[in-house]
Amino acid sequence: MITKLVMATNNTNKLREAREILSPLGIEVLSQREAGANCDPEENGATFAENALIKARAVYEAVKLPTIADDSGLCVAALDGRPGVYSARYAPEGQHCAKLLEEMKDVPEDKRTASFNCSIAYIDDDEVKVVGGGCIGRIGYEMRGTNGFGYDPVFMVGEKSMAELTADEKNAISHRGAALRGLYKYLKERFGE
């Protein structure tokens, strides 16, 4: 079993989620900063998987340690799948939810379906693997909750926004949680106990 892997991010929320889900394997998850990788590759892929691979390859080349990277985003049916791979660049920092709510203000309840999608790429000396996960919900009418980040306050699962869920509840159903569980399964099968 590997004992360390680098996550191609410095986002503390993403790191926390990865550490929580992968910790039973005894793997220490380092941020790219902690591993000494100072790179920020251009995410110009057409899919979440392509962008995850771009980031994973760049950090792997810098540190030569097993590396994971994720790319994820929100796909809204009424917006023809937007913001999609442009989720992080959809609006200025901190304004994503407000812009989305404005775009969705005249969309009726039955047309507010959306999904969070995530691809995680894993790279080491011998192998490249991509796993994915998704979570279907709908776009709410206002921001609710303080536990999430990104689009979590407007993404409704049942009667709660993703930002109203506890970390355990979110990990159990989220797109990144699903992808990380897929990665967990892959690593456990590949490297054994």
pLDDT digit string, tens, across residues 145-156: 998 788 999 999
pLDDT at 93 over 90: no
CATH number for the domain including 121?
Answer: 3.90.950.10
How far, CA to CA in Å, does 39 sit from each of 65, 123, 141?
A: 15, 16, 38
The model's pTM is 0.89
Predicted local confidence at residue 193, as pLDDT: 58
- The average pLDDT across 52-77 equals 96
Instruction: State the pLDDT confidence band at 2, using cuts at 50, 70 and 90.
Output: confident
Which residue range forms the structural domain that includes residue 187?
A: 4-191
Domain count within the chain: 1
Instruction: State the pLDDT confidence band at 168, using cuts at 50, 70 and 90.
Output: confident
Among 61, 53, 139, smallest CA distance to 100 is for 139
Residues acting as catalytic residues: 71
Predicted local confidence at residue 163, as pLDDT: 95
Residue 176 identity (one-letter amino acid): R
Predicted local confidence at residue 1, as pLDDT: 75
- The average pLDDT across 115-130 equals 96
- The average pLDDT across 108-122 equals 97
Instruction: State the pLDDT confidence band at 19, using cuts at 50, 70 and 90.
Output: very high
- The average pLDDT across 128-135 equals 97
Radius of gyration of the chain (CA): 17
Q: For a pLDDT cut of 90, what percent of the chain falls above it?
A: 80
Instruction: Quote the CA–CA distance of 46 and 43 in Å, as a whole number.
Output: 9
Residue 5: HSE in the Cβ half-sphere, 13 Å Cα cutoff: 25
Tokens 């506890």 label which residue? 166
